[in-house]
Amino acid sequence: MTAIFQGIAYNFKGLRLGLRTSRLLLLGLLRFALLVVISVAAAGVILVNYQEILNLMWNRPESAWVVWLWHLVSWLLALVLMAISTVVGFVIAQVLFSVVIMDHMSQITERLSTGAVQTGAAMAWYSYFFHLLRQEIPRGVLPVLISMLLLVLGWFTPLGPVLTVLSPLAAALFLAWDNTDLVPARRMLPFGERFALLRRNFAFHLGFGLPFLIPVLNLVLLSFAPVGATLFYTEKIDALKKPL
């Protein structure tokens, strides 16, 4: 339980540092703007084509005895499409823009915390960019998509109540890892070693990700999450590796 509260505390600790540091504030606001703009654009595309999508599934019945069910299905479809559009917007923003912004925020934070940035083997900027993209798929994109799939399955299976609770928790957990993994990925540590970090600090990651489940606030916290996650790694994980 202590580790869960520690995770929550580090999330807000990073937010405070981000708001006080001009470079981090600028990058955090840029990431916030990208998340909002791309998510709204994705939702707009979905809503513009909403009626066509609904008609493909089920045309409005003429019978007054059945039309109420059609309205219910249309509302459920709207909710599902909005959830999908949010995920699509997040994935697009994450892959195309945010992964670079997150890494830059992490480097600034590590330099503020330790005085220097530890990196792996030197590589050209374009090679480093594709390296970041390769890291983003297993640690951020796929877990969120899987969590959304669990949520949708929860609506249509007897395990609905359980999956409905587990899916957002799983998304929060992996979103937290998406941020704490920035430092070890930059240092070129093997994927297995980085995933072991998630397992060993499961409760911390759950606590760090729980605030991401709060609407509106989650956009702000996600924008500055790399700061708190990097502070955690440099202050807690690196400290364990130092000789006594």
In the chain (244 residues long), the average pLDDT of successive 10-residue segments reads 91 94 92 80 71 63 63 66 63 67 90 84 65 65 67 65 70 85 86 87 92 81 92 86 54
Q: What is the dihedral of CA 210, 214, 216, 221, to 10 degrees?
A: -20
Residues 6+ apart with CB under 8 A from 82: 43, 46
pLDDT value of residue 11? 93
Tokens 């699509």 label which residue? Answer: 88
pLDDT value of residue 203? 93
pLDDT value of residue 53? 61
Q: Choose among 123, 169, 124: nearest CA to 146.
A: 169
pLDDT (tens digit, 9 = 90+) per residue, 46-76? 677 666 666 665 666 566 666 666 667 666 6
Q: CA 99, CA 94: separation in Å to the nearest integer?
A: 6
pLDDT value of residue 44? 75
Question: CA angle at residue 233 from 139 to 231, to 5 degrees?
Answer: 110
pLDDT value of residue 244? 45
Q: CA 131, CA 186: separation in Å to the nearest integer?
A: 9
For residue 58, give the 3-state DSSP assignment.
Answer: coil
Helices 217-232 and 202-209: angle between axes, nearest 10 degrees: 150
Q: CA 172, CA 170: separation in Å to the nearest integer?
A: 5
pLDDT value of residue 54? 60
**Cα Rg of the chain (Å, integer):** 20
